[in-house]
A and B are shown apart, each in its own frame.
Chain A
Amino acid sequence: MPASTDRAVAVFKVHPAILSVAALGALLLQTFLPLKLPLARLMDFPLLITIYFALLRRDKMLGMALGTGLGLLQDALSHSYIGIFGIAKAIVGYLAASASTRFELESLGARSVLTGGLVLVHDLCLVALQHVLLEAPPRFQPMATASAVLVNVALGLVIFQILDRFRRPA
């Protein structure tokens, strides 16, 4: 649903503690859950948190900062080079905030489409970075990507519903 740029859009806020708990929880789940649940390898909790708060605040700077911070922490907790997830999530945060200023994203459908698109962009960014910087052969796997998109969209709808409970108008 396109949103006109000359009209007022709703901006929400959450308590900083909620944001902190959500970010921390996402990092913890991203670290430990794949050890117990193989399907969790497809999930990206920090990515969903980045998308949610970027959409919530409709602020590109905030989206980029949150994406970068969560991405760098995710890199630090993994064995990957520090910066890979940071770059991908910074781009996703920027795109999410940009989309939120143009589209009405309160509906589940719009959120699902946008989340799916951003998960795809995130995955493509990772593939591109690994190929360019690490000289790894392009390993874009459509099925795995589609699975990740579906899983994260489904997970995102749940997480977004949970976090919506803590938001209030700014």
Chain B
Amino acid sequence: MFDPNSPDLTRPIEALEHDGPVMPPFVKRHRSFFTLLAIVTAQVLLLSLQITRNNHVRLIRYWAVEAFDPFERSLGGLMNVSSTAYRTYRHLWRADQENQELHIQLVAAQSQIQRLGEQAAETQRLRNLLDFKNQLGFQTLAAEVIASSLGNTSSPGENSNAIFIDKGSDSGLTADLAVITPEGVVGKILAIFPHSAQVLLITDASSGVGVTLAQSRVQGILKGSANGLCDLHYVMNEEVVTRGEAVLTSGLDQVYPKGLPVGTVVTVGDGNIYKTISVKPSADLNRLEMVLVVLKPTAAEQQALNLPLRRQ
């Protein structure tokens, strides 16, 4: 129990207020009122610990939840927004990563498709070459075009009249061997090296191929010209040569086997004595990749050279 007595008998009203620790003037002036507030608040809290609502939920918990609910909702909303933003960012980042990876895969796939396409084309060319080789009655050796010796571009044969192949003396090649493709005659070996050989194309002005016109059987000499075509020389004006007529090797030059396709007559005109005939080579000399080199015939094959080309 507290002692309600004090030593004072009488005192001014102001003196009834207690002196206390330093506090703001407003609080000091109404100290007893704030004390009452504190007492009431403390007892309200005490009551809230005892009173229950809604299925035995204590009032203090009810109040606490009610007081914190808006903040929790806000925080929850903020967390949701942040989480959504973060997830969106991650998805975008992953999508970007996947996009980059897919782009790389696409480039690789396109490159592979291109490579496979080239391989398929090369396979087809090699198959054609093999079929053609099997049709021939003489020994040949397949070679790959590796460079051109003339011209102003890196494309083999373009604007050039000579090419290099990847077979040389090590493979048994010698000079003046005929070089052909399934489409037609290419040229002959001009110079031989251990691992390569230079081939003079039929479009070169210095080349010469003994040929025969397929229908008229007129013979002549095919020489190269400047425009990528060949000129057929020594055909008399009175001979009948038609445009589009095939030109075959005659075999008389002792280089090219007889009966190989050389080209097609594209223009025919009369000259002073001889016709001026332009022939377009059958082989695409600007796009040579694989060729066949006709080897020297053996004694047994020598006789076969005089026979026409076996056709299946």
Contacts and interface: CB of A to CB of B under 8 A. Distances in A.
A83 B46 CA distance: 7
B171 interface: no
Dominant secondary structure of chain A at its interface with chain B? helix
A131 to B, nearest CB: 13
Interface in B25-45: 32-33, 35-36, 39-40, 43-44
B13 A13 contact: no
Interface string B1-32: 11111111111111010100000000000001
Nearest to B7: A170
A162 interface: no
A90 B40 contact: yes
B51 A134 contact: yes
A6 B8 CA distance: 16
Interface residues of B, number: 31
B106 interface: no
A91 interface: yes
B36 A91 contact: yes
A94 B36 contact: yes
A14 B4 contact: yes
A81 B36 contact: no
Contacts of B35: 60-61, 64
Interface size class of A (residues with CB under 8 A): 35 or more
A169 B9 contact: yes
A59 B14 CA distance: 11
| Interface-centre pick from A13, A14, A72 (highest chain B CB count, 10 A) | A13
Contacts of A56: 4
A101 interface: yes
A67 to B, nearest CB: 9
B5 A8 contact: no
| Interface-centre pick from B3, B16, B48 (highest chain A CB count, 10 A) | B16
Interface of B: 1-14, 16, 18, 32-33, 35-36, 39-40, 43-44, 46-48, 50-51, 53, 59
20 contacts: A5-B13, A8-B10, A13-B4, A14-B4, A53-B4, A60-B32, A60-B36, A61-B35, A62-B2, A62-B4, A64-B32, A82-B47, A83-B43, A86-B39, A87-B47, A94-B33, A97-B32, A101-B16, A129-B47, A135-B53
10 smallest beta-carbon distances between A and B, as pairs: A60-B32, A13-B5, A83-B43, A83-B47, A8-B10, A5-B13, A83-B46, A94-B36, A81-B50, A86-B43
Interface of A: 3, 5-11, 13-14, 16, 19-20, 23, 53, 56-62, 64-66, 68, 72, 81-84, 86-87, 90-91, 94, 97, 101, 129, 133-135, 169-170
